[in-house]
Amino acid sequence: MTDDLPEMRASDAERERIAEVLRDALAEGRLGLEEFQERLDSAYAARTRGELVPLVRDLPQHSSGDGAVSGFEEGSSEPAPSPGRRRRWAERIGGAATSRWGVGVMGGFGRKGQWTVPRVFTALGIMGGGEIDLRDARFEDREVVIRCFALMGGMSVTVPPGLGVEVRGVGVMGGFDTSGSVAGDSDAPRVVITGFTVMGGVGVVKKLPREEKQQLRDERRAQRELERRREEESGERGRRHEIDKPGGTHGGDEGKSL
């Protein structure tokens, strides 16, 4: 690691590369779900390379952190693909929009699950807000725009890893979470979050899709069950060895017999 690494500004591609390392570690059972989410949040919030390195320093094959942070071709803004972690983005592009508006007046609205995001989705919140969840969504086109307008309210946009996001809204006594901007996978849809807020804000949250979370939980559960069985088998072999060896339980009984 070079001396200037800690102070060098991190790129979106480097943050995404670290995120991929963390996802692989979660799938392998090296990180728990809670710790994974904490590190993932820290990765996307990191401003410098020095903040990224500790997030993968204790993971196998990434002990220095340099490979995960600087493993990009010169001039490239996209992270190297992670084996086995390619999402089928092409299957999620196309189809008729299922909702074009979301309105929350002194209340809230939600768009989540399997819905199709239009080319332009408009969200309005007055003393209220809304939750826009894109983890399981389809997209009418490769690039969609989410326009958020909030007065004394707020909105949350939840995106899956790998999705391209650009945040460029304007806020007065509030604001837009520009740290949520990320390049995304090369074949992923691109979401532009824009709009205007007064005494309110728009946040971007990155989370795994529910299906992937459940799959990872199932894999962890199966792994723990396998480890438990191995421990039981190992303990049983150890007990048999103690019984069969000279001076063991059988040996002691034979010595006492006439």
The 10s digit of each residue's pLDDT in 74-101 is 334 444 444 334 467 888 999 899 999 9
For residue 248, what pLDDT band results from cuts at 50, 70 and 90? low
- How many Cα atoms sit within 13 Å of 52 on the Cβ side? 32
Structural domains of the chain, count:
2
Residues 182 and 95 in one domain: yes
Residues 58 and 98 in one domain: no
Task: Give the integer Cα–Cα distance in Å for 258 and 251.
Answer: 13
Task: Give the integer Cα–Cα distance in Å for 129 and 207.
Answer: 20
Look up the domain containing 56 and give its range.
Answer: 1-86
Tell whether 255 is covered by a domain. no
What is the mean predicted confidence (pLDDT) over 198-214? Answer: 81
Residue 258 scores a pLDDT above 50: no
What is the mean predicted confidence (pLDDT) over 179-195? Answer: 89
Residue 167 scores a pLDDT above 60: yes
Of 26-40, 85-99, 224-238, the poorest mean pLDDT is in 224-238
Counting residues of the chain whose pLDDT is more than 70, the rounded percentage is: 75
Residues 156 and 171 in one domain: yes
Cα separation values, 194 from 143, 201, 228, Å: 13, 11, 50
What is the mean predicted confidence (pLDDT) over 175-194? Answer: 89
- Where does a domain end: 86, 107, 133? 86
Residues 77 and 108 in one domain: no
Average pLDDT value over all residues in the chain: 79
Tokens found for residue 13: 């591609």
Task: Give the integer Cα–Cα distance in Å for 32 and 224.
Answer: 12
Residues 46 and 151 in one domain: no
Residues 137 and 47 in one domain: no
- Cβ atoms of 144 and 183 within 8 Å: the answer is no
Residues 36 and 18 in one domain: yes
Residues 93 and 192 in one domain: yes
Residues 35 and 144 in one domain: no
Tokens found for residue 45: 């919030």
Tell whether 197 is covered by a domain. yes
Residues 16 and 105 in one domain: no
Tell whether 229 is covered by a domain. no
For residue 18, what pLDDT band results from cuts at 50, 70 and 90? confident
What is the mean predicted confidence (pLDDT) over 32-52? Answer: 85
**Nearest residue to 98 via CA among 128, 125, 132:** 132
